[in-house]
């Protein structure tokens, strides 16, 4: 649970580092689930000749690096959301029991409840981030889930429908996040913080001149800990200059009944103090919701999730 000082920091500065927020058994289960997932993916890629190194000679990290260097996309099959790009009937994603238990972990919901109230939706703006060493990245790599993330505010990368939504971003560390391997950095909120101008950059990012990077605060956190953000808090990630991967999840919670910013993606009630029966407790139900959304969206016109265009003010 959060102290009054921690709550005050979140309310005034817009961020908070919370160690050991994820139960150790949940953390171990997520790692095990993803190890099994990658074993299956890598075997398929090897059998198809897409990767050349035999799977029995590689550990989890070796398989990831082998796939990346071979040009095989490991990200989307391991992500916990559908992409912002065109969705097809076979677009892969991953929702499993360990992922669901992570999204609904009691200690995590306890903390979020202290910040935005007792009626909580698991917001569908959620991703896995497994980032290779920067020196291994392709020169044209721009995906924020793979490379360093530009300065942005989470309010600005959701659709306008959620501009008034009570929301908290929870950045969960699955491996230790250090300054060297690309932890997050933050510019604390100002007293009257608003949405800053964003433009299509490497990713959607805050326009030059609005962030003083020299005063940015790095936010290292041990595995099982989290960084919490108010949706208006400017933040970015550092580059991973180590020889290893950095693994995290970027998830969100919002107040029940308020727009999520991705209304075409499924959400679910993670906690309800007023109606316990409304809480989702079955991971398969969650998975089926995403499968149903995929089938629907594959047949529908593409919905653009980017609200800023190159001809917007400050961008042209």
- Distant-in-sequence, close-in-space partners of 248: CB < 8 Å, separation ≥ 6: 128, 129, 171, 172, 173, 174, 175, 177
- Higher-pLDDT residue of 306 and 81 is 81
* pLDDT tops 80 at residue 293: yes
Alpha-carbon gap, residue 162 to 233, rounded angstroms: 15
Alpha-carbon gap, residue 226 to 229, rounded angstroms: 10
In the three-class reduction of DSSP (H, G, I as helix; E, B as strand; rest coil), residue 133 is classed as coil
Average pLDDT over every residue of 19-29:
97
Residues in the chain: 316
* pLDDT tops 90 at residue 143: no
* Residue 40 pLDDT grade (very low, low, confident, very high; cuts 50, 70, 90): very high
Average pLDDT over every residue of 294-298:
98
H or E element that contains 253: strand 246-255
User: How many CA atoms lie less than 13 Å away from 194 in the CB half-sphere?
Assistant: 2
Q: Is the Cα dihedral 240, 154, 89, 292 positive or negative?
A: positive
Please classify residue 127 by burial: count the beta carbons closer than 10 Å to its beta carbon, then call 0-12 exposed, 13-18 middle and 19+ buried: middle
Written as six digits, the tokens of 24 are 């150790």
Which of 143-152, 181-190, 210-219, 298-307 comes out lowest in average pLDDT? 143-152
* pLDDT tops 70 at residue 249: yes
> What is the structure's pLDDT at 50?
98
Specify the pTM. 0.95
Q: Which residues of 64-84 are buried (b: 16+ CB within 10 A; e: fewer)?
A: bbbbbeeebebbbbbbbbbbb
* Residue 311 pLDDT grade (very low, low, confident, very high; cuts 50, 70, 90): confident
DSSP state of 152: B
DSSP state of 65: H
The DSSP bridge partners found for residue 205 are 199
Q: For the domain 14-298, what is the CATH superfamily, name and number?
A: q2cbj1_9rhob like domain (2.60.120.620)
Q: What is the CA radius of gyration of the chain?
A: 19
In the three-class reduction of DSSP (H, G, I as helix; E, B as strand; rest coil), residue 201 is classed as coil
pLDDT digits (tens, 9 = 90+) for 99-125: 999 999 999 999 999 999 999 999 999
- Higher-pLDDT residue of 287 and 316 is 287
Alpha-carbon gap, residue 85 to 70, rounded angstroms: 22
Domain locations in the chain as residue ranges: 14-298
In the three-class reduction of DSSP (H, G, I as helix; E, B as strand; rest coil), residue 51 is classed as coil
* Residue 316 pLDDT grade (very low, low, confident, very high; cuts 50, 70, 90): low
- Is the Cβ–Cβ distance between 20 and 221 less than 8 Å? no
pLDDT digits (tens, 9 = 90+) for 68-97: 999 999 999 999 999 999 999 999 999 999
């Amino acid at each position: 649970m959060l102290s009054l000082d921690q709550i005050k920091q979140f309310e005034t500065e817009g961020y908070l580092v919370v160690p050991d927020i994820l139960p150790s058994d949940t953390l171990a289960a997520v790692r095990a689930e993803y190890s099994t997932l990658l074993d299956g993916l890598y075997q398929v890629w090897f059998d198809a000749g897409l990767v050349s190194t035999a799977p029995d000679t590689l550990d989890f990290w070796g398989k990831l690096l082998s796939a990346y260097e071979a040009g095989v996309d490991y990200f989307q099959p391991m992500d916990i959301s559908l992409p912002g790009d065109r969705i097809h009937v076979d677009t892969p994603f991953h929702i499993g029991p360990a992922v669901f238990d992570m999204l609904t972990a009691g200690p995590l919901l306890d903390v979020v409840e202290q910040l935005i109230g007792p009626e909580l939706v698991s917001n569908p703006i959620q991703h896995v981030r497994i980032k290779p060493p920067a020196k291994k990245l392709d020169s044209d790599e721009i995906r924020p889930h793979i490379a360093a993330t530009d300065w942005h505010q989470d309010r600005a990368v959701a659709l306008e429908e959620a501009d008034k939504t009570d929301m908290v971003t929870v950045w969960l560390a699955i491996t230790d996040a250090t300054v060297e391997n690309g932890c997050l950095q933050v510019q604390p909120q100002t007293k009257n913080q608003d949405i800053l101008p964003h433009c299509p950059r490497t990713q959607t990012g805050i326009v030059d001149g609005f962030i003083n990077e020299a005063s940015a605060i790095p936010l290292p956190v041990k595995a099982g800990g989290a960084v919490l953000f108010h949706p208006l808090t400017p933040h970015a990630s550092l580059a991973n200059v180590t020889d290893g991967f950095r693994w995290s999840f970027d998830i969100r919670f919002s107040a029940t009944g308020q727009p999520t910013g991705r209304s075409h993606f499924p959400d679910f009630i993670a906690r309800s103090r007023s109606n316990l029966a409304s809480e989702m407790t079955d991971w398969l139900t969650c998975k089926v919701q995403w499968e149903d959304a995929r089938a629907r969206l594959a047949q529908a016109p593409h919905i653009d999730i980017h609200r800023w265009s190159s001809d917007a003010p400050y961008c042209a």
